[in-house]
Amino acid sequence: MVSLVNSDRVEELKAFNETKLGVKGLVDAGILNIPGIFIRPPDELSQELNCSTSQLQVPVIDFQGIGNLDQRKQIVAQVQHASEHWGFFQVLNHGIPVSVTEGMINGIRWFHEQDSEAKKQLYSHDFKRKVRFNSNYDLFQSRTAYWRDTLALTVMPSDPLCADELPDSCRSTSMEYLKHVMQLGDTLIELLSEALGLKADHLKAMECTKGYKTVCGHYYPACPQPELTTGISKHTDSTFITILLQDQIGTTLQIIVSNNKFKSVVHRALVNRADARISVPCFFHGSVVESTEYGPLMDLVSEENPPIYKSFQGTVRSTKTNMASLVNFDREKELKAFDETKLGVKGLVDAGILNIPGIFIRPPDELSEELKCSKNHLQIPVIDLQSIEDSDQRKQIVAQVQHASEQWGFFQVLNHGIPSSVIDGMIDGIRLFHEQDLEAKKQLYTHDFKKKVRFNSNYDLFQSRTAYWRDTLALSTLPSDPLRADELPESCRSTSMEYIKHVMELGDTVIELLSEALGLKADHLKAMECTKGHNTVCGHYYPTCPQPELTTGISKHSDSTFITILLQDQIGGLQILHGNEWVDVRPIAGGLVVNIGDFLQIVSNDKFKSVVHRAVVNRAESRISVPCFFHGSMVESTEYGPIKDLVSEENPPIYKSFQVTDYMKKFFSTRLDGQALRNLFKI
């Protein structure tokens, strides 16, 4: 993936977009290798190897005889079963003449395969335009570009689409198909109402099919490397229903107001080497009038079946899914402008913003996923290191460390040997640094990892899907180049030097306990230089946020370390993913949080777990956290892999050996998205 990692992604995206020729323009140019912007991330490509396909078929429902009462009951029953168990079904004898469906497919093909200059006139990412041609509506927001070009037609009750607004190549066919597919939408929504046990006109009265609709004429050109890209990545639709016309007529169903009775199913589109493909989805979004709210239907909830979802406005859903405001803004320009201020997120807060900039808003799939992920009131293990020198007491502590490392991957430690004055001093020092005069911080602003002391906001600002609501003072220490006091900012110089000294000693203590918890000698991991190599201490500052539900302090990820020791203030915001539930790591006065990193999971051969975690922000109070990352040796001759004493014929090695330098290069070139980078090193 070297070409992808080294390419200037933003420049490639801009260059591709400015051609206005779409993906077909690349194919017409005779490319043999797809550009880096289209290559799926390593974690997706790796995941593909572990995901099987089946020969199952989605349900097929024949609408013949739908006007007959008994026949209709059978059709409703089939629709109910398909909607509950599949979320997708195909319909036959739906009332749209074959001449109309074939005409639409041919019209869309003619549009995309016509002279490129004619298409260029319609090229736009402006969602306010009713007729627009582009390649990838979310080109500058998505992780990778999709191998697809689109003609999009938007229909609003207040502003219907006129024939003279459509391109000549598909004008008459599109108008005819639109008329029929809208009628089919009404028929389907009636059947779905009945399948929910409601009156036939219930969903129709909610304007599920009468509001905002989009018909997209997608064109997927032949692709020289289809295994490296997709026509559209896996997703669910933010619609009531979607009706899809493709080379074979089909219907896809997604319902979001049935209180989970009907299922909105993840789907995607693949591409191939041989043939271009056409698909024409019609998205029924419902009303986007601000006064209209959608939520679980009252007739479908009860004490035994309480509502699962909150109500929402169609405009909010549209904002979170279409992200029109984000598409219309120049992401690269905003990122550069923010970075060039050198003021960080705190600079925005000090300026009195009421709405967070678009670069900080999480992608639609993350915002949607948040609704499905629950929280609980569990607590991560708390381990008291008092009397650690006592042999019997130490055995108990080691047993607790083993349990926490195997089951949780996180634990808090008390009586760890770092004086409370040092802990309080470090938190106060980091706060003083971030809240001091802006000009003093600007002098240290950089994204250069070679600098031992650096201040920035978002180390991966130009690579991440969205910016994080966080500023950071990073301090790097290497055995060959230790950190000197005179290199640190005055505001936290003495407190940082004192804390770093103590936390390094605690790192040695923790790594000894972890060695024993693995059944090894106490000095085994220490001898591997798990704590004596490259270490980084970060002073994170999470300012108050006017819209915390739209962003994060750091997105879900696991650490590329052996261990991480975290000092945090009493505000709270760290969460770990335990099962499928987010667990708050509640601050304990004087306590420090320890978590297992990817490297330790690898060398322990999966005995210890590196767990996904994140940081959330809040409206009321700024927060300080100070993680110390123990990365291990970055000497090129040093390799880490499953420890020989922990593998056998019954427990063979799961991972390949790796060099920390190689691992970190992949880490800094890969977006944080909750997918563990260590999986790339599995055998």
* Sole residue written with tokens 């002073």: 539
The reply to whether 142 and 250 lie within a common domain is: yes
Domain end call among 296, 327, 360: 296
Helical segments of 88-154, H only:
98-113, 116-120
Q: Is residue 310 part of a domain?
A: no
- Rounded CA separation 670/467 (Å): 14
The reply to whether 141 and 196 lie within a common domain is: yes
E strands within 381-420?
A: 382-384, 410-414
- Rounded CA separation 434/436 (Å): 6
The reply to whether 424 and 281 lie within a common domain is: no
Q: Is residue 466 part of a domain?
A: yes
CATH number assigned to the domain comprising residue 96: 2.60.120.330
Domain count, the chain: 2
**Alpha carbon of residue 85 to chain centroid:** 26
The reply to whether 567 and 481 lie within a common domain is: yes
Residue 332 corresponds to which tokens in the numbers above? 């690269």
Q: Which residues on neighbouring strands pair with residue 576, listed in sequence order? A: 583, 613
* Sole residue written with tokens 């240290």: 444
The reply to whether 183 and 262 lie within a common domain is: yes
Domain end call among 247, 272, 296: 296
pTM score, whole prediction: 0.57
Q: Is residue 303 part of a domain?
A: no
DSSP letters for 585-603: ----TT-EEEEE-HHHHHH
* Residue 519 backbone dihedrals phi, psi, to 5 degrees: 80, 20
Q: Residue 267 is part of which domain span?
A: 2-296
* Sole residue written with tokens 């693949």: 270
Q: What pLDDT does 331 receive? A: 75
Domain end call among 296, 321, 355: 296
Q: Which residues on neighbouring strands pair with residue 216, listed in sequence order? A: 152
Residue (of 683, 536, 520) closest to 604 by Cα position: 520
Cβ(244)–Cβ(281) below 8 Å: yes
Q: Is residue 477 part of a domain?
A: yes
The reply to whether 283 and 381 lie within a common domain is: no
Cβ(119)–Cβ(109) below 8 Å: no
Q: Is residue 324 part of a domain?
A: no
Q: What pLDDT does 144 receive? A: 87
The reply to whether 351 and 286 lie within a common domain is: no
The reply to whether 76 and 174 lie within a common domain is: yes
Q: Is residue 387 part of a domain?
A: yes
Mean pLDDT by 10 residues, the chain (683 residues): 46 91 94 87 54 73 95 96 91 94 95 92 90 92 90 88 93 96 95 92 86 90 88 86 74 36 76 87 76 66 69 47 42 87 94 88 64 72 96 97 98 98 98 92 91 92 87 92 94 97 98 98 95 93 91 92 98 93 94 98 97 95 98 85 94 91 72 66 86
The reply to whether 198 and 66 lie within a common domain is: yes
Q: Is residue 556 part of a domain?
A: yes
Q: Is residue 322 part of a domain?
A: no
Name the pairing type of β-strands 613-615 and 574-578: antiparallel
The reply to whether 284 and 404 lie within a common domain is: no
The reply to whether 377 and 266 lie within a common domain is: no
Residue (of 345, 502, 485) closest to 413 by Cα position: 502
Q: How many Cα neighbours within 13 Å face the side chain of 336?
A: 7
Cβ(475)–Cβ(535) below 8 Å: no
The reply to whether 70 and 137 lie within a common domain is: yes
Q: What pLDDT does 261 receive? A: 58
- Rounded CA separation 108/216 (Å): 9
Q: Based on C-alpha coordinates, what's the Rg of the chain?
A: 28
Residue (of 650, 633, 430) closest to 526 by Cα position: 633
